[in-house]
Every structure is written in C-alpha cells, then in structure tokens.
Amino acid sequence: MKTFQTLCAAVIFCALPALTHSHTVDPNRGVDASVNYQSLQGYAPWDDRNYLLTSSDLALLAPNESELISPVPVFFRVMYRQENPQMDRTGPVQYPRALLNYYRMRFSGYLIDGEIFHDLSYSAEDGYQIGLSAGSTPLAMLEGAIRALENNVQVNGPGSAAESAIIYQPGNDDIVIAGMNGSGQDMYFSTDNGASWTESPPLSGTTCCDPAMDWSSDNSFAYVVTLGNRDVWFYRSDNNGQTWDSLLDATPGDDRRELAGPEDNPALDDKEYIHVDRTPGSPFIDNIYITWHQDNIMQVAVSSDFGNTFTITSFPGEQRGIGSDITTDAQGNVYHFWPAFNERTIRMNTSSDGGLTWSASSVPSTTNAAFDWPLPSIESRRAFLYVAADTDLTGGPFDGRMYISWTDTTATESENNPALNHSIIRVAFSDDQGQTWTESIPHSTDDVLEVDRWHQWLKVGTDGSVHVAFYDTRAFPDRSGVDFYSSRSADGGVTWSDPVRLTDVSSANLPGSFEFGDYNGLDIGDNGGIGIFTDSRDESGGGGVSADIYVAPVIIENVLQEVFFIDGFETPDPL
C-alpha cells in the first residue's frame, strides 16, 4: 500500500502555494502517524475531518490530484472516490462541478476547531483563505463600480444565490419562471413580465442546484429539473410555476421523478438541462428530453407522457463531457451536444425516433479549452465550457438553422495563472442537420486580450433573430469584475450587433469559492427578451455585497446604425 509520503514523492501537489491558507494544522491530532497532514492543504482548504484520513485513504487520490482545482476538502474527495470506485483517476476532469454543492449540502461548511466556516476568499497570491469568523465575507466590493439602479430587478429575497435560468410562457411574455441555486434550488414566478417576483413553495426533498425549465406544447404544464440527493429530479407544475406538485395527480404521495438514483448507481449526476419538442406537426411533439452527465458519461432521459415516466440512455462509449444541451427540429429529430474535455471538441449525436436510438457522435467544432480555467473575474470557481443549443422554427429566411454557442479560450488555458487566460464566446450554425457548420464570434475580436467574455447563453427569437448573452469585463481594466451584455444577429448568426450592456450596476469580483457559479440564462419572447444573471451589487448602501440574482430586459428589435462585426472588422448594418 502506498503511503501519503510515497504519493508526494511522485507528484508535485505536496507544495502548492496557490492552494494554501492561514490555518495551522496540528499533526498530533491525526489518526495515522505516517500521514503528513500539513501537506493536505496543498489540495484544497483545510477541514478538521482530514485528521481521520489514513495513508490507505489517501492512496485513493489521483496521481494528478493537485491539478483538479476545487475547494472541496481532501476528506470529502476521498469519501467521494470510496463511494464511486468506477470514477476516473486520470485526466484533467474527474470530479463533477456540483461536488462543492453536495459537500455544502452534507457538511454545511469547513470544520475547524469545532466551528463551521461557510465562506472563503481567494487570490492568486494567497490561494484559498477560510473566513476569520463563522459566516464571514472577507472581500469588499471594488470602489467605483456602482452606478445608478434603473432597469434591473432583483429576483431572490435575502440571502445569496447563483446559477440561474429563466423562461417565458410561450405566447405570453407576462408569465415568466425563474430558478436559481439559493437555499437549495429556489423557484420564482412572475405575472408581469419580470417586473416583480414571487417565490414558489420549496421543491420537495433536499435539492441542490442547476435549474432548467421548459413548457408543454399547450402551456398546460411547466417542467423543471434540479439536482437532488446525487441524481436528477424532475417536477411538474399545472399553474404556471406557482407550485411544483402536479405529478401528485398521477402518483399520489410522489410529486417528483428521480432519474438514475443512487440505488441504481452510486455516481453523482450533474449539470442537467431540459428541452421539450413543442413543434406542431412533429411526430414526437411533447416529448421531454433531459441531458446530464454521470461521472462524465453523458445521459439522456426521454418522457412521452408529460413526465410521468422516463427512459434513460447512457453513452459510455462516447467521449466524456459535462455541460450539455438538446434541441429538436421541425421533423422531430433530436440533437444532443456536449463538450468533450479529453479531446477538446464539441460533440453531437442525434436521434430520429424520439430518443429511442442514437447515432454515433460527430464533431461540430474543436475547442482551445478543455473544461474550465481561472480568469481575474472568476479565479476560484473558474469559467466553464458548456454548450447552449437552439433551432430556428419560425418559418423565416433561416428556418431550420441550428445554433450552438460555448465559452472558449483564445489559446490553450493556463491552469494556475488567471492573468494568462483570455475568454471569448463562439457560435456555430448548421443548415444541413449538423453535417457542416459555420462559426462566428458575437463580439469584437480586437480586444480579446483586454476583455473576457464568459457564461454565455443562446436563444432564437420568435422573429428569427439570434441572441447571445454573456458576462463582459470591459468596465474593469484589470478584468476583475463583470457586466452582463447581449449581442443580436439578424442574418442567421453570420454577423452580430455591437454587444449591449444589460446591467446598470457593475459586479465586482465576488468573494468565496463559488463566486458567480457556473452559468446564467436568457429567453426571448414575442415582444422582448429577458436575461438572468448572478450579480454582486450592494443593495444595502454599504457592506452588503453578496451574490444575488437579477433580471434585465433584452431588446429584440434592430437598432438603427448598429455596428456589426465579422471576424473583428466593422461592416455596414446588413438590415
């Protein structure tokens, strides 16, 4: 059996200044005299439960454990590997991004000398620093970033939140549903186009995060998915998102469906998304498609009875990934996308029979980045490569065109130096069911070394325009903070408007390990659009910096004298 010292001799993770913190570890408290407990701080923030680890426990860690950047303590990493012996021990991506969420759900925070600490700070110089007192938030908002609040609306109540999604009721912009990672997964609804919000009763069970929503074709049902107890949970609403217990009508006493539960596989599921085929004339209209990964193996669940039952397909023979999405065309063909981190590609597989069988995957594009990377604006949680997909079903000049977007780096990412990474948004479109693709960038390319763009989402409007929303750091010369922007294409994704700022207050670098979370959301309705995003503005007038969820209006009409960009060069407005 390898000892911890043997592992340390083989790899470099035993002395990583970027992951140290100020707590002093007492080796006399450890249960195994052969373990150098002090050096465990080279992985992640300290937790006193690390004292229970033995050398045989530590032998379960990956040889490249130091490269797996995550603020999850060593004891929980070992616990996760013990519970999931089938998980990878090689490669740049091994743990799901939701591992931190599940750690917090299970253990609340970092245990030190009998006290639980909930917050971290992070800097490139000092790495992770556990708060000096329980519940502390040690970083303050950067000065000069606040501007007058005008058109943005805060969705959540008191408390922090991140990772949000939003959706209009089709045909009725007044009805809006939003979800977020707050005290679990919190759900909100609006009946006035997002001007005011009401929180729905909590989803049943202990939920985690990663909200995604859609509607049935006649709007009689709204659907939402979340992570709960290690697997994907599905809920249904029959009152526009005011409550999420409609499945009780089908199964009294059971208001949710649990997909790939721990009794089937002890793996941890993560990063789900949902899509409903709502196209009139589709042979699979009202099929519900849910995509996620299980230990980085892609999964798709399909329901043809409004979410009462599901059939799950796993893709162990495909390239592994995380951050997937699904779209359908007018014929009911299903297109499933994900970024494959080991080979740095965007993958797509398809189904022509409503998700019963699937093709082998193809490669719409390659990526510079593999999985995630630190930036000055999100140096701890790190920007994340995921795919957003949509199809033009409007009957307009680009009808049938399929779009995907993702965040990427301008070159191969630097794992430990945020300043060396530069982040951009990419869009690709296809007119031949994904056989060939054309790419564009929905922002200027002249400033990519000075401005980062990340956390994108894409939607096609009811008028056939294409919209991409994303964080943009241009207001911060050091790239440390963000605003939320959107770009619009009126010619099928070939050229793009100059990005429009949606936030009326900039967000400075957030404290803690979770920062801005993993993603934001966007939807486009009949009369306008709405973006939803994590925001760090100070609502209290001083000292109230926290991660909260805001919405902002998105203009869908073309603005006169817009500047469009093709490969970074200004061209005349094509409209």
Res 572: pLDDT: 31
Res 371: pLDDT: 93
Q: Is the dihedral of CA 93, 391, 327, 153 positive or negative?
A: positive
SS3 content of the chain, % helix, strand, coil (to 5): 10, 35, 55
The pLDDT averaged over each successive group of 10 residues in the chain (575 residues) is 31 33 81 92 88 94 88 92 88 84 77 80 68 37 25 86 96 95 95 93 94 98 93 97 98 94 68 97 98 95 98 96 97 98 97 98 97 95 96 96 98 92 98 98 96 98 95 96 96 95 91 89 92 88 74 68 30 29
What is the three-class DSSP state of 398? coil
Other C-beta atoms closer than 10 Å to the C-beta of 388 total 25
Res 103: pLDDT: 81
Q: Tell me how far the alpha carbon of residue 58 is from its chain's centroid.
A: 30
Res 201: pLDDT: 97
- CATH 2.120.10.10 domain range(s) in the chain: 153-559
Res 266: pLDDT: 65
Q: What is the spatial distance between Cα 533 and Cα 483, in angstroms, rounded to a whole number?
A: 10
Alpha carbon dihedral 65, 71, 75, 77, in 10-degree steps, equals -50
Q: Tell me how far the alpha carbon of residue 233 is from its chain's centroid.
A: 17
Q: Is the dihedral of CA 276, 281, 284, 285 positive or negative?
A: positive
- Which residues have C-beta within 8 Å of that of residue 144, sequence separation ≥ 6? none
Res 71: pLDDT: 86
Considering only CA atoms, which of 279, 289, 433, 434 is closest in space to residue 354?
289
Note whether 545 and 523 are within 8 A (CB): no
Q: What is the spatial distance between Cα 308 and Cα 235, in angstroms, rounded to a whole number?
A: 10
What is the three-class DSSP state of 6? helix
Other C-beta atoms closer than 10 Å to the C-beta of 540 total 9
Q: What is the spatial distance between Cα 356 and Cα 349, in angstroms, rounded to a whole number?
A: 13
DSSP 504-570: SS-BPPPPSSSTT-S--EEEE-SS-EEEEEEE--BSSSSS-B--EEEEEEE--SPPTT--EEETTEE
Give the CATH architecture of domain 153-559: 6 Propeller (2.120)
